[in-house]
């Protein structure tokens, strides 16, 4: 049996769910295929960094007010290790209430899932997509649920599963930064309320994001050193962190469970060779976590694709004309985010003396130029198109 839909979204994570919710209430027949069971994200301890622009998207979807344990960021302190240069971005100077937010991944996913289950969107959980092909005017998706194979057809298939489905068929362009990110939660003696820190070191950026009476820590290092950091005792870990970060939040007191994952840049081709198909979120681009851009670009992918879909007559959904218009509109923001994060990693992840001095001067100048700070902050909050 083959089911028929206007839009089929492969992946019910935050990006796929955002797209589905932006389409609810329309006359379109929309379905979401999610490989995990509903509400399985409750066991996910990750923290997410959202920009103020992403909050506006979630507010339009009537999801923001349902979120729990949200920590706001009103100040971002940017510095370089062993250097005088630094820049401070403040929400008040940008005329916004906050620059960003940190919240549990599980809280966002649960709120989106709850909203989906109370909408007209068809959500199919524990449904593993196994194949994607196309006919003359539809995408054809195969999936498996409870050991039974199913097929559905859609005018437009949206791949929002992080790229797993098409990874082998259409491999993305990649760049290995030879870095891993260690993620954990820490507490300190004198935390600075609503202040996030981005500190550049020769081995990579180190970020402290205010979260749950402490900080979510993202510590970048080479693959080998990151693996060694996993095995350090808590005392050694906190001591080494203090050496890297300094005294801005006082003595580091506790550290939680640590996880580590490799970092790289992956970018799918702008134009997927398969008709009636579009990639969004991490399926389209996976970025280095510096400056917290990747997830927020994914939400903008979803929101702007929804607007393009709603502005297209049903007969043209998935057409090359419609997809070309979407790709053109997203290209500047997508490429801008990629170049911004990639450039920061390449510029700051070294200890070359001349570059270090130049970076210090650049951070100091940025802090002294209000129009330049507004330019940078606006693009961090809203993207290049904002």
For residues 88-103, average pLDDT: 96
Q: Tell me the percentage of the chain whose pLDDT exceeds 70.
A: 97
Which residues make Cβ contacts (< 8 Å) with residue 109, sequence separation at least 6? 13, 14, 17, 41, 44
Element (H, E) at 298: helix 294-310
The conformation of residue 11, written as its DSSP 8-state character, comes to -
Q: What is the pLDDT of residue 386?
A: 64
Q: What is the pLDDT of residue 270?
A: 64
Domains of the chain, with CATH numbers?
2-69+104-172+264-348 (3.50.50.60)
Structure-token pair, residue 8: 């089929």
This prediction has a pTM of 0.94
The phi and psi torsions of 185 (rounded to 5 degrees) equal -115, 135
Q: State the chain's mean pLDDT as an integer.
A: 92
Q: CB–CB of 378/386 below 8 Å?
A: yes
Q: CB–CB of 85/365 below 8 Å?
A: no
Q: CB–CB of 156/308 below 8 Å?
A: no
- Kindly report, residue by residue over 291-342, the tens digit of the pLDDT: 889 999 999 999 999 999 999 999 999 999 999 999 999 999 999 999 999 9
Closest C-alpha to 292, from 230, 383, 184: 383
Closest C-alpha to 23, from 386, 271, 328, 312: 312
Q: Measured between alpha carbons, how far is 11 from 8 in angstroms, rounded to an integer?
A: 9
- Kindly report, residue by residue over 183-207, the tens digit of the pLDDT: 999 999 999 999 999 999 988 899 9
Q: What is the pLDDT of residue 271?
A: 60
């Amino acid at each position: 049996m083959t089911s028929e839909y206007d839009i089929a979204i492969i992946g019910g994570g935050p990006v796929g769910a955002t797209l589905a919710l932006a389409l609810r209430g329309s006359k379109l027949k929309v379905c979401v295929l999610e490989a995990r069971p509903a509400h399985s994200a409750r066991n996910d301890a990750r923290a997410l960094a959202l920009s103020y622009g992403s909050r506006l998207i979630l507010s339009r979807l009537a999801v923001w007010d349902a979120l729990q344990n949200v920590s706001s960021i009103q100040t971002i302190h940017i510095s370089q290790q062993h250097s005088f240069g630094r820049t401070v971005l403040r929400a008040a100077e940008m005329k916004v209430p906050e620059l960003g937010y940190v919240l549990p991944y599980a809280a966002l996913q649960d709120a989106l899932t709850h909203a989906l289950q109370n909408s007209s969107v068809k959500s199919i959980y524990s449904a593993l997509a196994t194949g994607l092909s196309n006919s003359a005017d539809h995408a054809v998706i195969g999936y498996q649920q409870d050991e039974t194979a199913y097929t559905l057809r859609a005018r437009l298939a949206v791949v929002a599963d992080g790229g797993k489905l098409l990874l082998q068929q259409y491999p993305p362009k990649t760049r290995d930064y030879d870095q891993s990110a260690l993620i954990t939660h820490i507490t300190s003696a004198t935390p600075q309320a609503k202040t996030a820190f981005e500190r550049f070191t020769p081995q990579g950026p180190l970020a402290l994001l205010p979260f749950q009476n402490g900080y979510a820590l993202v510590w970048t290092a080479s693959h080998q050193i990151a693996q060694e950091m996993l095995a350090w005792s808590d005392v050694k870990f906190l001591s080494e962190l203090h050496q890297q970060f300094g005294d801005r939040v006082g003595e580091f007191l506790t550290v939680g469970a640590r996880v580590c994952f490799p970092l790289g840049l992956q970018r799918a081709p702008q134009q997927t060779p398969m008709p009636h198909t579009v990639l969004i979120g991490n399926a389209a681009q996976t970025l280095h976590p510096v400056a917290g851009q990747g997830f927020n670009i994914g939400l903008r992918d979803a929101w702007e694709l929804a607007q393009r879909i709603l502005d297209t007559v049903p007969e043209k959904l998935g057409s090359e004309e419609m997809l070309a218009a979407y790709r053109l509109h997203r290209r500047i923001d997508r490429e801008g985010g990629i170049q911004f994060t990639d450039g920061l990693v390449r510029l700051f992840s070294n200890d070359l003396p001349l570059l270090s001095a130049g970076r210090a001067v650049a951070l100091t100048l940025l802090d002294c130029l209000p129009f330049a700070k507004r330019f940078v902050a606006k693009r961090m909050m809203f993207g290049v198109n904002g």
